[in-house]
Amino acid sequence: NAGVTQTPKFQVLKTGQSMTLQCAQDMNHEYMSWYRQDPGMGLRLIHYSVGAGITDQGEVPNGYNVSRSTTEDFPLRLLSAAPSQTSVYFCASSYAAGGGNTIYFGEGSWLTVV
Amino acid sequence: GDSVTQMEGPVTLSEEAFLTINCTYTATGYPSLFWYVQYPGEGLQLLLKATKADDKGSNKGFEATYRKETTSFHLEKGSVQVSDSAVYFCALSDNNNDMRFGAGTRLTVKP
């Protein structure tokens, strides 16, 4: 059982470049989300989706786009990378949003913007 | 808005020592509370959770009790092992589409 799979694991970008972080889950979860992890700040929610065709902004959405064309996939796009976007990115999924639902995380994508 | 505050680290203990990592929360409703653990180079994994007041979550020797009166969810373990070295995150989730995480506490256990 693969769970939540994200690629790439490591990426170096130049300022102004664009890229997409891929995320896929095989648990038939409706809820998917992207977090960024920065030192001393825990995880902050970037965007989330409660089902195919539905996305919404989280706490820190600026500079990122998402789409949810299928239940399984939830890619995160950086439109024009900035050094402030250097971070570790985690994709996550759960059966449903909120309440006592457990969130399952991917292994993370380390992104450096130079 | 909702938030989580956990004790700053890093925490360094000797093997078999008692562990407490404090976590307090602020929420307008009745959130569910979680502890997640992150081992080096990996994503976060659920360690334990509690969904209502006075519930105790437990797993792998770790425990935490949902205390509504003190808005706390402190993580405890009676005897830590080297393999418990990781970063621990306290988190809360209400009925909205969001989970709030604390800043994380790095634990190092020395043999």
pLDDT along chain A (114 residues), means of 10: 89 97 96 91 91 94 97 97 96 85 91 97
pLDDT of amino acid A2:
73
B94 interfacial to chain A (CB closer than 8 Å) = yes
B93-105 burial code (b ≥16 CB/10 A, e <16): bbeebbbbbbbbb
Verify whether the Cβ–Cβ distance B32 to A108 is below 8 Å. no
Residue A85 sits at φ, ψ, to 5 deg, of -90, 5
Is A58 in Cβ contact with B44 (below 8 Å)? Answer: no
Q: Does A61 touch chain B (CB under 8 A)?
A: no
Closest Cβ–Cβ partner in B43, B49, B93 for A90 = B43
Asked whether the beta carbons of B25 and B32 are under 8 A apart, the reply is no
Q: What pLDDT does A1 receive?
A: 61
Mean per-residue pLDDT over chain B, rounded: 93
